[in-house]
Structures are given as structure tokens and as C-alpha cells.
Structure 1
Amino acid sequence: MRYQSTRGTAPILGFRDVTLTGLASDGGLYVPETWPQFSRDDIAAMADLSYVETAVRVMLPFVGEDLTEDELRALCTQAYGRFSHAAVTPLVQLDHRHFLLELFHGPTLAFKDVALQLLGLLFEKFLAGSAEPLTIVGATSGDTGSAAIDAVAGRHGVDIFMLHPKGRVSDVQRRQMTTVLAPNVHNIALEGASFDDAQALVKAMFNDAGFAGRFRLSAVNSINWARLMAQIVYYFYAAVRLGAPERKVAFAVPTGNFGDVFAGYAAARMGLPVERLIVATNVNDILHRALSSGDYSAGTVTPTAAPSMDIQVSSNFERLLFDAGGRDGGALAAQMRGFEASRAMRLTNAQQTNAAEIFASDRIDAGEMAQAMLWASQSGETIDPHTAIGLAAARRAEVQGPVVTLATAHPAKFRDAVERATGLRPALPARLADLFDREERYDTLPGSFDAVTAYIAERAQPR
């Protein structure tokens, strides 16, 4: 398996190098040169597999010669052994056609754990025996930061610098990052910044030769292909339990950065019978506008009760534009340069037409989100605001067969919003019950390239 950049000029890499690199040197994102293919029999054979064995079966074609099947199995066993549910990502039924796929049973209570627990182990495996340290730089709207920090805290040869917009993540999300006091963990709160601003700083660091050349930079955001690869697994795992390949399954995905739902697109390209991928956005609706009308124009970020979706520039959408537009790296590079200069772009006819074959989208406002939380509670389930946005879109989508809403975070991570909508205040699991008693450590910086790069340069190990 080899990987190419969406912008066409970066070197072709194998799985190990793609994992350690993150963003491509030409500013693009890495994708497989071809999608592995699973037959109906291949998919049917997954019905009785555990989550770990499903993960091995789905991911093995992506790792090439860089991991043996036994090595991959050992990494998956270790990664998912930390989850609190034996099924890792269990399905919960709400009514005759609606299901929740609970992705929050990992150590930091969010779907990011499914990928980042594995990614941390991959970093450690691929760096073994290397004297060159790895500097991870990431931006978070809440959940990526805590999941990535948990995955690499205390690991030898790795420093992590995590940027978050000050005051724009929940108190639980912040504390899950800032109470990890391992010496290789550095939390940075950016003043007056949005997640888009933080993400732009990370991309600028990777693209600045003077800065990037001093360190071995890598990414934990969903720009890193290995993270998306791990997320493909739970689409297969859920679908076969609802009758695939004999019937199609639809998925509703609350999304801001498009990574989680792109993993579903990858599963479909690999042969999984997906009825529809429903992209659910909040009022920061750039993805809904792009998919419904072809208008990919960034506006001003509006803070909401679903902060992980308060995004106006969705990094992973570039992967879909590349695949749906005929995999023309040069054309996409020009298209993205125009967007980066003007923050506005029209999808081509091919991009719109091909995306419409599998994607639907919806925009959910605060009232609709609250109604979905209340409906779920009446069905016996407490859900967080992000999951509620996905469920609201799922309930009014015109699709056939079962619909699975991805439950992306434990409701206790957003307890104030849940209580306002339902009257219920969810408690943190026992392992995090003392979170608000733990010491915090983070630094506050202005959201400027010079301030952030100076901070990192002072603390990171040079290559």
C-alpha cells in the first residue's frame, strides 16, 4: 500500500512514513493510491468477529509491509484493552430503526480514543530504536487534545504541543488536557482564537520550512491518515451487526472537520453497503452548504453548545474533493489555493455529483439539538450535544433501513448543556470522578505564529 498527496507533488510514502509525517510537504493530505476491496463474503465473515479481530481484518491492507498481522493484532489488543465496554463500540437501539453507536468508552470519553489509542502505539513502535525525537503539534476543539495527550503522555522520544481556543472548550474537555502533568505534554490556550485559527497555525508550522526543518514534526489531528484508518473499522463493525452485507445501513455523523464521516466514505469505497452518510452540522454549516449547494465558503465561527463542531474550515473535506473530483492533484491544489486566499470556493460539477451519490446533509440549530436530547432521554438514553445533532439529522433523513447515529462523546463532558435540555445532569464515570480536584497546567499565548513557534522551539527537542 502506498499513499499519495491530494495536491499531487509530495513524495509517495508507505504506511510507516505517512503515520510519522502527518501533513504532506505540498500542503495536501495523504490518501491511499487505491482503496482495498472487500467482497460480500469478506464482509459477511466479519459478523462473528470481536472488535479487535474486525480491526485487524479491515486495517491490514492499509499497513503494507510495515506491520505483520500479528504485530497489528498486538497493537489493537493493547489499544482497545483500555476501553470500558467489552464490545469497544457497542450499538444501542432507540426505536425500530434508530441506533446509537457508542464511541465514548475509551479513556477520555470521546470517539477520538478509538483512533488515538492506536496512533500513540504506532508512534512508539515506529520510533523504536530511533534517536530522532518526534514533535507532535495539534489543534483541538476539545476532544482530540485529551485523547492525543492520553495516548502519548510519558512516552519516550515524543513531545506533544496541543493548541486549544481559550474559553471555547467545555470545562471537562479542558481539564482532561490540562491535568495531565507528564513532562512531554504542553498545553497552549490561544487568546481570542477559534479552532480554525488554531488549526491554521498548525498547518502554517508544517508548511514553514525554517521551522519544520528544525524538528521531526507529526500530527495527531485527522489530517494524519492512520487516525482515519482506525475509524473505518467501526463502520464495518456496526454494519455487519445490523445485517450487512445483506442490507444497507445509513449513518448519521455529527461533524465539523469531516474526518469521522470521511472514514465512513472510505468504508463505502471499500465495499461496505452504506445506504447514505448523513453529514450533520450545527449552525457553523459550511459542510451542509457545500454538499447541498456546492458553496464551500467560510464564515465567522459561532460558538455553540457543541464546541467540537464550531468549525468553518474542514480539513478533511479536501480528501473527498480529491477523490470525488477524479484524483487530479494539480487541479485540486489550484482549487485549494484559491480557497485559502479568498475563503470561498465552488465545488465542481463532478465533485458535487459524485458526493451526492452517498452523502446527504442537514443543519441543526440549538432548539432542534435540545429536542433530540430530550427525545433520546425519553427513550432511556442520555446523549451529548454533538450526538444530538447527529440524531436530529437522522430522524428527519429520508433513507431506507436502519440508521446509526455516531455517539461521539460521553454526555458528562457537556453536562451543563445536557442538564439545560433534559433536566438530567450526567455524572462522570468513576475513573474521572476526581477530575475537578486535579491540578491544572497550561500556558496562555496570543494566537500568533511567532508566539507559538517560539514557545515550541524553546521546549521541543531538535532533530
Structure 2
Amino acid sequence: MQFCSTRDIRHIVSYEEAIFRGLAPDGGLYHPVKHPDLQELFASLNPGMDFTAIAGKLITALFPDYFDKDKAKEIAEKAFPFSPELVHLDNKLYLLELFHGPSCAFKDFGASFLATCMEEFLKQEHRKAVILTATSGDTGSAVAQAFYKKENIDVVILYPSGRVSPLQEKQLTTLGANIHALEVKGSFDDCQRMVKEAFMDTELRSTFNLTSANSINLGRLIPQSFYYVYAYAQLKDTDKAPVFCVPSGNFGNLTAGVYASIWGMPTSGFIAATNANDVVPQYLAGGEYKPRPSLHTLSNAMDVGNPSNFERLKALFGSREKMAEHITGCSISDKETLETISRYHKKKQTFLDPHTAVGVLASERYMQKNPAHNIISLSTAHPGKFLEVVKQATGEFPPLPDRLKEALNKQKQATLIDNSLDSLSDFLRKKIK
């Protein structure tokens, strides 16, 4: 596969170039020049295949210039010592649990694969890199865990002060070593803007060999397609191809699923489930695309008012009408999120995190109008990451996995900075060797 900028199809790069550049020089995002046809691969899958076997097949098919069958297997096993789990929730509704990795969130999959690839390439070429990434919550902890003590890599994570959950903050600020946490006086949109401005600064970028681990980075986005394929394989023998419901903020997760469908994975469509930050659902319903400052909600990892990956979706589909043929938008309020968490706790004795609850209610609404389809709703984070919200909805704290308990007892290590490129630049020059 080769990749070009969403803003200039003449700017073509390899996979390795794309993951280290992160953002194209013109400010666009890298996306495939041409999508591969993997229909034969999807036809060969069966429900009994484990995740790493499926991931290995996809790595070989997508990146044959870098990874032969044996190397792809090695990369898959190193990147994914954890796996997604598909569980039946109710009627034709399934949850794809993506929180069994080290940070208990779906972003572990993309971050771990990207870290594994980058370490491999840097080791071969005897060079170093600095990962610069913004987070609204889960990205930071996933990137911190994935890149912790990786050779030849420093990681700088920007997060909005007071706008991530206490546990999320602990996960991304307590590792130390090559992980540097910057607490920004502002919103996630400020953090994301600062990262983009740093990439557009030629001198900064070359001095520190900057790259990103946000979903703007293809090396993180493409492996997220792997678990869609895994879920499809589990339900392959059902009558109709499933609908995927994706709790959406920056829209990288949804884009990864759309990529898999373009490669030939059978699907009956996608649901983009958002909280009050509903610029994309409004667009899909016939309105104009109007980015706006993000609103603070209970599902904070989705608090994005100007989703980066919308640019990829727009480049992919070309028009709102075409996009709306494949994607249905749905916005869920905080009140509805709490009611959904409460209802499933009472009905099924199960805990949902607020992001998963947004997806579950959006799935139910879709199912009322489309009862024939199985819906696979992505469960993007462990409920233990959002103790306060779950307690508010259910009256109980969900059980914490050991890896989350350990994070709570660690000491925060973060640097408070202003929401400006100058502040970020000063930190890089003083702290990164």
C-alpha cells in the first residue's frame, strides 16, 4: 500500500514514511492511494480463528513489502498479547469488548501495533524519534503504556487540565522514563491544535524527528481495522452482514471500520454514535459541517468539536450523500447515557462505561427501525476507568482490574503549560535530548 495526503494526491509516501511523518507536509492526513481487495482473505476466515492469526493475515496482505508471513506473525504476537472479545448483550445486539489491553481501552490495539512497528524500523536504521500526541483521555494512557521504555523513542503527551477522568490522568502521568505528560491549560481542541502547529513548524519537526500516535497516524488507525474483521469472523455464518456501531469522537475508530469494509469485509453499514458533540451526525442528517468548540460531557474521550478524521472520511466518500449511504449518525445526551448505564445494570447486572453506553443506546434506536440486522457495538473502555460516572448511574462502583488499581496508587508526574506552541516548544528544547 502507498499513501497520499488528503489534500494532495500527488504527495505519495510509503507506510514507513507515513507513520513517522504522522501529518502530511501540507497539513493533510495520509490515506491509501488505492485500497486492496481482500475478499478472498475474508472468505477464508472462520469463527474459530484467534485474533493474532487474523491480524497476522491482514498484516501480510496490507504490508507485503515490510512483513512476510513469518515476520507478520511475529509482529502480531508482539503487538497483541491481548485480544478483543465478542459477547452477546441482548437480542441481536453484541458488544465487541476492546478493553482487555494494558490501559483498558480500545486504543491499546492501534498504539501497541504502532509502537511495535516504530521500534522495529528505528532499530534497523539506528535513529531516534519523538512521539507528540494529544489526548482527550484514552489515547494518552494507551500511548503511554504502548511506548513505555521502547528503544530510541521519547513520548510527549498533551492533555486538557481537569478534563480527563482521575484514573485516565493517573495512567498517562505516572510512568516516567521516556513518557512525558504535559497538562495543558485548555481543551482537547487546544491540545490537538498545538500538536498540528508543531508538525507544521519545519525547524521543530526536523530537530526532534517528530511524529504522532494520535489517530491521525495511519500506523495506529489501520490496525484498528483488525478487530472489526475479527468480530465479523465470529458472526460470519449469520444471515445478514452485521451493522457496526462506533462511539465516536475524533472518528479514527469509525474510519478504520470503513477501511475494512472497502477492502471487502461484508457489513450492512455503520452507526456513528456521539455525545452532545454531534457535528458529524448533524452533517449526515443533511446539515452543513460546522466545527465548533467541544462541549464537556460524561463521555469525555468523545468531547471533540472538530474531528480530525472527518477529513479522511470526506476524502474517501467525496460527498455527504455518499457518506450517508454507509454511515448513520446518532447523538446521545448525558441524561440518556446515565439512564442506559442504570438500565443495563438493573436488567443484565452488567456495567457499561459512558462511551459504551452511548453506543448501546444508539444501537437500540437503530434496531427499532432495522430489526433484521445483528449489531456489533464497540465497547471502547472498561467501566472501571469511569468510576464516578458509573457510580452516579448505578449507585455502585464497578470492579477494577488489577492494572487499574496499580495506577491509582502511583504518583502523578506532569508539567503544567499554557495552550500555545511557544510553551510546547520551550518544553521540547529543555527536556528532550
In structure 2, relative to structure 1, the CA distance for the partners of 1:178 and 1:356 (3 Å cut) is same
Partner Cα distance (1:401, 1:370) in 2:
26
Partner Cα distance (2:155, 2:391) in 1:
34
In structure 2, relative to structure 1, the CA distance for the partners of 1:9 and 1:361 (3 Å cut) is closer
Partner Cα distance (1:169, 1:224) in 2:
22
1:285 counterpart = 2:278:
yes
Q: Which runs of 5+ in 1 are unaligned?
A: 326-350
Instruction: Say if 2:295 and 2:305, in contact at 8 Å, map to a contact too.
Output: no
Instruction: Say if 2:194 and 2:421, in contact at 8 Å, map to a contact too.
Output: yes
In structure 2, the partner of 1:257 is 250
Instruction: Say if 1:46 and 1:240, in contact at 8 Å, map to a contact too.
Output: yes
In structure 1, the partner of 2:31 is 31
1:14: how far off?
1.3
Mapping 1:351-390, distance limit 5 Å? 351-377=319-345, 378-390=347-359
In structure 2, the partner of 1:343 is none
Partner Cα distance (2:406, 2:67) in 1:
39
Query: Out of 400, 408, 419, which is 1:447 matched to?
Result: 419
1:142 counterpart = 2:114:
no
In structure 2, relative to structure 1, the CA distance for the partners of 1:9 and 1:213 (3 Å cut) is farther
1:74 counterpart = 2:43:
no
Q: Which runs of 5+ in 2 are unaligned?
A: none
In structure 2, relative to structure 1, the CA distance for the partners of 1:434 and 1:41 (3 Å cut) is closer
Query: For 2:356, what is the secondary structure of its paired residue?
Result: helix
In structure 1, the partner of 2:119 is 124
Query: Out of 224, 237, 240, which is 2:230 matched to?
Result: 237
1:416 counterpart = 2:388:
yes
Query: For 1:233, what is the secondary structure of its paired residue?
Result: helix
In structure 2, the partner of 1:308 is 301
Instruction: Say if 2:216 and 2:308, in contact at 8 Å, map to a contact too.
Output: yes
In structure 1, the partner of 2:60 is 60
Query: For 1:12, what is the secondary structure of its paired residue?
Result: strand
Query: Out of 108, 127, 132, which is 1:113 matched to?
Result: 108
Q: Tell me how many residue pairs correspond in the alignment.
A: 429
Comparing 71-80 and 237-246, the one that deviates more: 237-246
Partner Cα distance (2:41, 2:165) in 1:
44
Instruction: Say if 1:44 and 1:245, in contact at 8 Å, map to a contact too.
Output: no
1:40: how far off?
6.1
Scaled by the length of structure 2, the TM-score of the pair is: 0.96
Partner Cα distance (1:408, 1:215) in 2:
32
In structure 2, the partner of 1:347 is none
Query: For 1:434, what is the secondary structure of its paired residue?
Result: helix
Query: Out of 186, 190, 204, which is 2:197 matched to?
Result: 204
In structure 2, the partner of 1:49 is 49
1:225: how far off?
0.6
1:422-461: per-residue Cα shift (whole Å, max 9, x none)?
Answer: 1220132123323222111110001111011111122223
Percent sequence identity over matched residues?
A: 34
1:78: how far off?
1.6
Scaled by the length of structure 1, the TM-score of the pair is: 0.90
Query: For 2:269, what is the secondary structure of its paired residue?
Result: strand
1:249: how far off?
0.2
Partner Cα distance (2:105, 2:71) in 1:
26
In structure 2, the partner of 1:94 is 89
Mapping 1:422-441, distance limit 5 Å? 422-441=394-413
Partner Cα distance (1:175, 1:96) in 2:
37
Instruction: Say if 2:104 and 2:382, in contact at 8 Å, map to a contact too.
Output: yes
In structure 2, the partner of 1:331 is none
Mapping 1:401-412, distance limit 5 Å? 401-412=373-384
**Structure 1: 4+ residue segments shifted above 4 A:** none
Q: Which amino acid aligns with 2:400?
A: L
In structure 2, relative to structure 1, the CA distance for the partners of 1:204 and 1:381 (3 Å cut) is same
